[in-house]
Amino acid sequence: MGEASIKAQAKTAYETAIGVEVHIELATKTKLFCGCEASFGAKPNTHVCPYCLGMPGTLPVLNEKALELALSVGIALHCDIPAWSRFDRKNYFYPDNPQNYQVSQWFYPLCKVGYVEIGEDATKRIGIWNIHLEEDAGKLFHDEKTDQTLVDANRAGVPLIEIVSAPDMQSAEEVLAFLEQLRTKVLYLQASDCKLQEGSMRVDVNLSVRKAGNSGLGTRTEMKNLNSFRAITRAINAERERQIGILEAGGEITLETRRWDDAKGASFPMRSKEEAMDYRYFPDPDLPPVFVTEDQVEALKKAQPEMREAKRKRFVSQFGIPEYDSEILTQSVRLANLFEETAKLGIAPKKVSNFLMGEGLRILREKELDPADVQATPEHFAALLKLLEENKITNTVAKEVFEEVFVSDVDPAEYVERNGLLTVREEGVLRQTVESVIKENEKSASDYLGGKEKALGFLVGQTMKAMRGQADPATVTALLKELLKK
């Protein structure tokens, strides 16, 4: 047996168990316990007040909207909602934490035991252990010029939910499937914008390996600083390899927290169990327990929006678009709604879907945009498709204008007018261009006259190019045929 195949065999002899802790910032206007704005990207330390700066004597007031959003997520994840929960203080000193404690839930969380379904036909259930409602910390910035570390407390006190999964996942693929499902549900609920790059969704991965067939779990490590789905995949695969390597060499796994360095493609120890802090959790004396009645839960269940699966099926039956289209469109609630509202304005649904799936997805990819940032209103999108339907603009022009509508919601009629993009079909205007195209492409002209039909297509293409895509193809073809015969 070669060394490579021995290695391969060793690898398959291990099973991986992965659980995740997902922090999601809730999309409330204000913070969890004070009236400060919770929005992202403001000037440092402008969204602060005595409470979220940890001044003595200030008192918290629970944001009802945050509670509602957290419960909605719990309901969507099939969780049990206990009749009451409680806030606890997690005590630690760090400069980004003005209060020196974080208000969290430790002993009695808001939601318990739920699940997320993944895999083909949702065949595998990933358990949810609990969902905590808690405050976010502020942020530290290191200023290279002055070699100083600065504190921005804008994020301190922004509401977060922490979703803790069971170690039910066995590969990076399963973790991504879980996160995609979770993210889609939260986006459909409009409970958060779930942007990994802005930190409104953050994922820690707990991973352990064990010999195949063994029961129980191996010693786990916790991986932090995972800022993209790609980083999560790489970190999981690297950590699995690292742990198997240690075990194969006869070593033991240390229970520790590790920091993923995506540039280096490796993780480094942050703190071991011995260094782990004792947070001295205790009930927050300033906050009463949170009571949730059955009526409240029922009302929230009724108010849940249509989720992805239901929408996917309905689009096929109501609009007659292919399953595939519906699958793609409903991946983002923003695109799904744009599709539905535009189709309802009297545009053929398949035409709407084609533009969104072809051009829309291309633009998102090329500009690295989040679907939530799409600006198009259904009215402008429909107006553009009408211009195309009425042959006022060509397909090439429509694609150009669509990008403007999609990204900046320009008025298509005005844009076409201002940039002179209406389709040219006046023979007088086109004749000159066609004549010069024939002159410049003598070989193709004689090929066509010699019986090569294909050469005509080439000449039409050249004319369209010369007209910047704005000529009416039928008129161009007719003119070419006429002028070639001369």
Stretch that binds Zn ion, among 50-58, 187-195, 232-240, 445-453 (CB under 5 A): 50-58
- Letters for 5-44 (x = contact with Zn ion by CB under 5 A, - = none) are -----------------------------x-x--------
Answer for the pair 238, 266: CB distance below 8 angstroms, yes or no.
yes
β-pair partners for 140: 151
Number of shown-chain residues binding Zn ion (CB under 5 A): 5
Name the minimum Å distance from CB 95 to Zn ion: 18
Place of tokens 């609920």: 189
Residue 240: name the closest of 261, 225, 263, 220 by CA.
220
Beta sheet of 159-165, edge-to-edge order = 111-118, 124-135, 159-165, 14-25, 201-211, 221-226, 256-261, 266-272
CB of 157 to Zn ion, least distance (A): 6
Looking at residues 331 to 350 of the shown chain, list those that interact with Zn ion (rule: CB under 5 A): none
Give the nearer residue to Zn ion in terms of CB position, either 31 or 240: 31
Question: Smallest gap, in angstroms, from Cβ of residue 105 to Zn ion?
Answer: 20
**Is there binding between residue 158 and Zn ion (CB under 5 A)?**
no
Which ranges in 190-293 belong to alpha helices (H)? 229-248
**Cα separation of 256 and 275, whole Å?**
9
CA distance linking residue 66 with residue 293, whole number of Å: 16
Q: Mark residues 110-139: x for contact with Zn ion by CB under 5 A, - for none.
A: ------------------------------
**CA 346 and chain centroid, separation:** 30
Q: Provide, rounded to whole angstroms, the least separation between the CB of residue 54 and Zn ion.
A: 10
Give the E-state strand segments of 299-439 in sequence order: none
62 binds Zn ion per the rule CB under 5 A: no
Using the contact rule CB under 5 A, the part of the chain among 51-59, 206-214, 409-417, 432-440 near Zn ion is 51-59
Q: What is the spatial distance between Cα 318 and Cα 349, in angstroms, rounded to a whole number?
A: 10
82 CB burial (10 A radius; 0-12, 13-18, 19+):
middle
Q: Which stretch binds Zn ion (CB under 5 A): 49-57, 72-80, 435-443, 457-465?
A: 49-57
CB of 287 to Zn ion, least distance (A): 15
- What number of helices (H) and strands (E) belong to the chain? 17, 15
| Token pair belonging to 56 | 């003595």
Taking the least distance from each CB to Zn ion, the nearer of 98 and 378 is 98
Q: In terms of CB distance, is 65 or 224 closer to Zn ion?
A: 65
Q: How far is the CB of 35 from Zn ion (least distance, A)?
A: 7
Closest CA to 209 of 170, 166, 174: 170
Distances (CA, A) of 429 to 235, 422, 475: 61, 13, 11
**158/207 with CB nearer Zn ion:** 158
Instruction: Write down the least CB distance from residue 48 to Zn ion, Å.
Output: 6
Q: Where are the alpha helices (DSSP H) in 224-377?
A: 229-248, 294-303, 308-319, 323-329, 333-343, 349-355, 361-366
Distance, in Å, from the CA atom of 152 to the CA atom of 143, rounded to the nearest integer, reads 12
Does 52 engage in binding with Zn ion (CB under 5 A)? yes
Q: Segment contacting Zn ion (CB under 5 A): 46-54, 180-188, 401-409, 425-433?
A: 46-54
Q: 209, 243 in Cβ contact below 8 A? A: yes
* Residue number with CB closer to Zn ion (9 or 46): 46
Residue 36 or 247 with smaller CB distance to Zn ion: 36
Nearer to Zn ion, 51 or 178 (CB): 51
Kindly tell me which of 63 and 463 has the beta carbon lying closer to Zn ion.
63
Q: Smallest gap, in angstroms, from Cβ of residue 66 to Zn ion?
A: 13
Q: Is 49 in the site for Zn ion (CB under 5 A)?
A: yes
- Quote the least distance from Cβ 153 to Zn ion, whole Å: 8
- Whose tokens are 């053929």? That residue is 348
Q: Shortest approach of Zn ion to residue 53 CB, angstroms?
A: 7
Among candidates 281, 248, 231, which has minimal Cα distance to 86?
281
Report if residue 103 touches Zn ion, rule: CB under 5 A. no
Cβ proximity to Zn ion, 53 vs 478, nearer residue:
53
Hey, which residues does 116 pair with through a beta bridge? 126
| 36 vs 292, beta carbon nearer Zn ion | 36
Chain residues in the site for Zn ion (CB under 5 A): 34, 36, 49, 51-52
